[in-house]
């Protein structure tokens, strides 16, 4: 056996020795739209899944929950979950400026929402040690975080990629992300609310969100699915329906 082959064998054995922590995932859909979204995520033939619509409809929760379920399913080729981070802050006027520390320190605020959601999913699924499982999943690289700023040239294989808050991405951003897909062993899940665009250049130029643009032009491709959530599909807090309705009527 040559040196290169030996090195590859050692690396393969090393990967196999890192075992996925045990956990339970239980998700109960609250309406038909959530069932449609989950069915698309489960469908191996749907390699790109868009979830677009109102806040509070469960897009992020369902995306991560089903990804965790697919990760532990031994019939799948998925070896990890990659969560893409967008560094667009909520408003320009409320920015706090540069963050101190190394890169991991700077991106921590952008990771925290996903980490909290993972812990919540595990806890709701009956895992008493949800925080410890989440930490182990991250420490063992079963869950990874990638900044969109640095993904050019990368190819993602044998993984589930989750893109949240995608309404703040341009057409070029979405093209970059979707073309990182490395074959049918990579499932991409892209979610967002196109009515809550915070990116200044998109708003100033009245430009269509890259998320909406991508879902529109890829519509009809068998490997692509789009689930559109409306205010009627809100499950987090029914008061949100009235809040969103009144803001939309008066802005």
Q: What is the C-alpha to C-alpha distance for residues 242 and 235, in angstroms, rounded to an integer?
A: 13
Task: Please compute the mean of the pLDDT values over residues 46-73 and round it to a whole number.
Answer: 94
Mean pLDDT on 169-197: 91
Does pLDDT of 228 surpass 90?
Answer: yes
Please say if the pLDDT value at position 138 is more than 90.
yes
Least confident of 36-45, 145-154, 198-207, 212-221: 198-207
Half-sphere exposure of 206 (CA within 13 A, CB side): 0
For the segment 144-166, the average pLDDT, to the nearest whole number, is: 92
Residue 241 pLDDT > 80 = no
pLDDT at 90: 45
Neighbour-count burial for 25-51, b at 16+ CB within 10 Å, e otherwise: bebeeeeebbebbbebbeeeebbbbbb
Q: Is it the case that residue 94 has pLDDT exceeding 60?
A: no
**pTM of the shown model:** 0.83
CB 53 within 8 A of CB 233: yes
pLDDT digits (tens, 9 = 90+) for 98-119: 556 655 666 777 788 999 999 9
Q: What is the mean pLDDT of the chain?
A: 84
Q: Where is average pLDDT lowest: 129-133, 158-162, 196-200?
A: 196-200
If you average pLDDT over residues 199-209, what whole number do you get?
Answer: 68
Average pLDDT, stretch 182-190? 95
Q: What is the mean pLDDT of residues 45-57?
A: 93
């Amino acid at each position: 056996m040559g040196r290169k082959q030996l090195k590859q064998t050692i690396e393969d054995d090393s990967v196999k020795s890192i075992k996925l922590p045990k956990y339970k995932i239980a998700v109960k859909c609250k309406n038909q739209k959530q069932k449609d979204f989950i069915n698309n995520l489960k469908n191996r033939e749907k390699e790109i899944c868009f979830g677009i619509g109102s806040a509070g409809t469960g897009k992020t929760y369902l995306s991560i929950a089903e990804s965790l379920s697919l990760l532990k399913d031994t019939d799948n080729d998925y070896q990890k979950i990659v969560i893409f981070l967008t560094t667009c802050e909520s408003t320009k006027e409320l920015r706090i400026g540069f963050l101190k520390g190394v890169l991991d320190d700077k991106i921590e605020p952008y990771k925290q929402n996903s980490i909290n959601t993972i812990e919540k999913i595990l806890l709701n699924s009956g895992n008493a040690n949800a925080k410890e499982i989440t930490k182990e999943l991250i420490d063992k690289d079963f869950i990874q975080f990638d900044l969109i700023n640095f993904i050019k040239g990368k190819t993602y294989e044998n993984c589930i990629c989750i893109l949240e808050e995608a309404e703040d991405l341009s057409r070029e951003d979405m093209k970059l992300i979707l073309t990182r897909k490395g074959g049918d062993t990579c499932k991409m899940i892209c979610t967002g609310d196109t009515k809550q665009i915070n990116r200044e250049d998109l708003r100033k130029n009245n430009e269509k969100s890259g998320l909406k643009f991508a879902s529109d032009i890829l519509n009809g491709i068998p490997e692509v699915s789009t689930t559109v959530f409306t205010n009627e599909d809100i499950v987090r807090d029914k008061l949100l329906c009235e809040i969103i309705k009144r803001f939309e009527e008066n802005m």
